[in-house]
Amino acid sequence: MEFDRETFRRLFPNLAKELESGRNSVSINSVRTDIEVGEKAVSQSFVHYEPDVIDFIRRCDTAEQAEEIIDYMERRGEIRKEYAAQLRKQLKEKGVRSFGPKKEEGYYLKHGLPEKY
């Protein structure tokens, strides 16, 4: 079904305004039709990636394990005391899965680490 601009604006005024504003756009940098080329490009996504406290918490099964991670990273000075307090509050109020789904063993291998690692 095709519409001219004026018909589209009349039928969908808010959508037309949003589309014409250009504020909520998503750029597409490239399109790959070869799966192998695409997979090699994606495999670079974790190069030089340093896991943070959230990444480690997402590997935990229990709140107690997550608490140990927070304590350890705070003790080592890898996270600030205030941030550690925020994490503990979230852990207590919302649970360990509030930080994201569990990262299983081999997560980075399955989701993009280059083969040389």
Which pLDDT does position 83 carry in this prediction?
93
- Mean pLDDT over the full length of the chain: 80
| Per-residue pLDDT at 21 exceeds 90 | no
Give the model's pLDDT for residue 63: 95
Reported pTM: 0.54
Burial (0-12, 13-18, 19+ Cβ within 10 Å), 60: buried
